[in-house]
Amino acid sequence: MQHCHSNMDKTKRVCFLLLRVLALGTTIAAAIVMGTSHEKSSFFTVQFEAKFSHTPAFTYFLIVNVIGGAYSLLVFFLPTESLLWRLVIAMDVVMTMLLTSGVSAALAIAYVGKKGNSYAGWLPICGQVEGYCHQVGGALATGFAGVIIYMLILLYSLHSAINPLLL
How far is 23 from 120, CA to CA, in rounded Å? 37
CA angle 98/102/108 to nearest 5° reads 145
The overall average pLDDT reported for the chain is 88
- Dihedral (Cα; 78, 140, 29, 80), 10-degree rounding: 10
Residue ranges per domain, the chain? 19-35+53-165
- Comparing 52-56, 110-114, 134-138, 155-159, the range with the smallest average pLDDT is 155-159
How far is 162 from 157, CA to CA, in rounded Å? 9
How far is 56 from 148, CA to CA, in rounded Å? 23
Query: How does residue 165 score in pLDDT terms, banded at 50, 70 and 90?
Result: low
DSSP H/E element including 1: none
Q: For residue range 62-85, what is the model confidence (pLDDT) as tens digits? A: 999 999 999 999 998 888 777 787
Q: For residue range 100-109, what is the model confidence (pLDDT) as tens digits? A: 999 999 999 9
First to last CA, the chain: 18
Q: For residue range 133-159, what is the model confidence (pLDDT) as tens digits? A: 999 999 999 999 999 999 999 998 888
